[in-house]
Structure 1
Amino acid sequence: MEIIPLSYPLNGLSTLSLDKPLSIAIGHFDGVHRGHQNVIRQAVREAKEADLLSAVLTFDPHPKEVLGQGDQYYHCLTPLNVKMALFAELGIDLVFIMRFNTEFAAVSPKRFVDEVLRTLRAKQVVVGFDFNFGHRGEGDTEALKQLGQPDIAVHVVEPLFENGIKVSSTYVRESLEQGDLKLAERLLGRLYEVAGTVVHGDGRGRTIGFPTANLHFKHPYIAPRLGVYAITAWIGDVAYPGVLNHGLKPTFNKQEVQPVMEAHLFDFNGDIYGEQLRIQFRSFIRSERKFNSINELVKQIEADSLEARNLAGLH
């Protein structure tokens, strides 16, 4: 899969050597959830049927972040590098990453079709049913169909529902905020995961018999609700079941601090400082709470670890 950064206006594309026109799925696709997957898979199918290259046109950063429509869009379900890996798994040939800024936000729907889609040699375009584009989102799917005539065919993918609610990035975020990992897994079609670097913490975990890997995140992930989770931690290609606390550590911290994630990996004693750790969230165990003593905390961690081991099939 080839990744091609773009900025508006699309200058310098004469050097882009595409031996075939494109079938393009368009969207930001944060989460690459099952609804997004339907859009992308249709673009791949259309490409195969019409002997085209399959492509995704996505935007970075999130348009709503640039337009000041909510700070929550700074935090993401899937950082750009993760989205690229998921697109590749779905069989995409090319990914165009359009730099989203105020200049691009001002482009009219007609100019978007003429100066972006036609410049990229789009022959088939696939979008979700609620797709909007152009200045102030003035373009919708009907406008896209009209502006695409006669050379660009537009396919609109109908919504997917879970529990009678449309599968969306917002729905995934809400499920994580509630600690409903099973729902998040159904919406995403996979376990929710984050990846961070193991850094030195305060060292308390080791002193009470539960050494932890403290995580520092380069990317601003959406974090699940504060609490304790059963996880699978990946170090390279090796998986370790474990338990993770996402919280403020109220037993030790007397004042408000930023939430941290620290993972205890079962049956692991290696030195992984500076290593990348990929965390898959499997099940929510309990909310975070303050304990009256270290002994009380240790007993609870033992109980949490037993539950996480049972969930992982370890006895």
Structure 2
Amino acid sequence: MQVIYLDEPFNEKNVNSAPIVLALGFFDGVHLGHQQVIKKAKAEAKKRGLKLAVMTLDRHPSIVFQNVPQSSVRYLTPLKRKLELFVKLGADITYIVALNEKISSMGPQEFVDKYMAGLNAAAVVAGEDYTYGKKNVANMQTLTEYSKKRFEIITVPHLKKGGSKVGSTVIRKYIDAGEVENANKLLGYTYQNTGVVVHGKQRGRKLGFPTINLNISNSERIPSEAIYAVKVTIVGKTVLGMASIGRNETFGEGQKQTVEINLFDFSQMVYGEETVVQWYCKLREQQKFSDVQGLIRQLERDKENTINYFKEK
């Protein structure tokens, strides 16, 4: 897949010169609703014998339009992960637009002229709530006027499950509550984070449950503090494990939050390795134990429950 970054004013030589079908959206999570939009665009591209291009933004719209601090935004899919999912969905090109004041101050007609017609779109595909400016004047209904019949407009209705819209907002709520199984049903894949293995306090080793400690970027949304059944991909291997997101309160109050994973049947030294953890199921909430032996007994139950969970998958 070709990845093209666009900033104002963008160099037209960077743009694919042939007609394309263009899928539009921010696509945080690339969930089942987003996938429906991109798959519809892919089918249209195949029908027309054209390439599929996906256009997204380099940062969350709330940073520019709602003045949300960039440091406080937690993505379901950081850009690297988003691009991986676009590839799986058959995108030939991804345009990444720099969302800055030049774009946010742009009127809807100029945006359509440059970032739809100007990208040689033969057809534009987006969800029914897609906007490209103030939603009361720059929406899918008004796009007919701005397009001036230069391209076809295909609006994809909301995907609903259980009578409710599949959307990034509800998925974020599930992740924040640790309800990863519900989140995964709406994502259409298993939610994951990427981190680097760092040194911890090696308490798990002393308990008979050695762990890897992950440093995950603050820009990634991680599940709530709890114990989870996970799969971890590390040094080319995928292994089962149980993960703890918490503060180790059994060993004292006021400790920093950590992400620690006990990997089953794995004993390599992997400090500094990039690691992908997939969150399958919340086993239980965090709890403070009165003594270390109580913690060990619970960890043994957690391991048994994790193994049984994956046996039934």
Q: TM-score, normalised by structure 2?
A: 0.95
Between the two proteins, what is the percent identity of the paired residues? 34
Pairs within 5 Å for 1:264-303: 264-303=262-301
Counterpart CA distance in 1 for 2:286 and 2:68 is 28
Letter in 1 for 2:2: E
Letter in 2 for 1:8: E
Letter in 2 for 1:216: N
Counterpart CA distance in 2 for 1:94 and 1:242 is 36
Give the equivalent residue in structure 2 for 1:61.
59
Give the equivalent residue in structure 1 for 2:247.
248
Give the equivalent residue in structure 2 for 1:38.
36
Give the equivalent residue in structure 2 for 1:115.
114
Give the match's secondary structure for 2:298: helix
Letter in 2 for 1:268: F
Q: Would you say the 8 A contact 2:131–2:140 is kept in 1?
A: yes
Deviations 1:220-266 (A, max 9, x none): 211112100000111144211110001111111322x4421110001
Moved more, 66-75 or 210-219: 66-75
Structure 1 residues 236 and 126: CA distance shift in structure 2, 3 A: farther
Deviations 1:53-86 (A, max 9, x none): 1100100111112233545971000010000010
Letter in 2 for 1:77: L
Give the equivalent residue in structure 2 for 1:305.
303
Give the equivalent residue in structure 2 for 1:23.
21
Counterpart CA distance in 2 for 1:228 and 1:119 is 49
Identify unmatched segments of 5+ residues in structure 1: none
Give the match's secondary structure for 1:251: helix
Structure 1 residues 210 and 13: CA distance shift in structure 2, 3 A: same
Deviations 1:86-140 (A, max 9, x none): 0000000000000101221111110111122121111110110111112576301
Counterpart CA distance in 2 for 1:258 and 1:152 is 53
Letter in 1 for 2:129: D
Give the match's secondary structure for 1:100: coil
1:99 to 2:98 alignment? yes
Q: Would you say the 8 A contact 1:106–1:135 is kept in 2?
A: no
Counterpart CA distance in 2 for 1:312 and 1:66 is 42
Structure 1 residues 15 and 302: CA distance shift in structure 2, 3 A: closer
Pairs within 5 Å for 1:211-226: 211-218=210-217, 220-226=219-225
The structural deviation recorded for 1:218 is: 3.2
Moved more, 121-130 or 134-143: 134-143
Q: Would you say the 8 A contact 1:79–1:219 is kept in 2?
A: no
Aligned residue pairs total 311
Pairs within 5 Å for 1:138-217: 138-217=137-216
Identify unmatched segments of 5+ residues in structure 2: none
Give the equivalent residue in structure 2 for 1:77.
76
Q: Which runs of 4+ in 1 moved over 2 A?
A: 14-18, 66-73, 134-138
Counterpart CA distance in 2 for 1:172 and 1:157 is 20
Give the match's secondary structure for 1:190: coil
Give the match's secondary structure for 1:142: coil
The structural deviation recorded for 1:191 is: 0.7
Q: Would you say the 8 A contact 1:33–1:169 is kept in 2?
A: yes
Counterpart CA distance in 2 for 1:252 and 1:71 is 34
Q: TM-score, normalised by structure 1?
A: 0.94
Two-structure CA RMSD over aligned residues (Å): 1.7
Structure 1 residues 74 and 50: CA distance shift in structure 2, 3 A: same
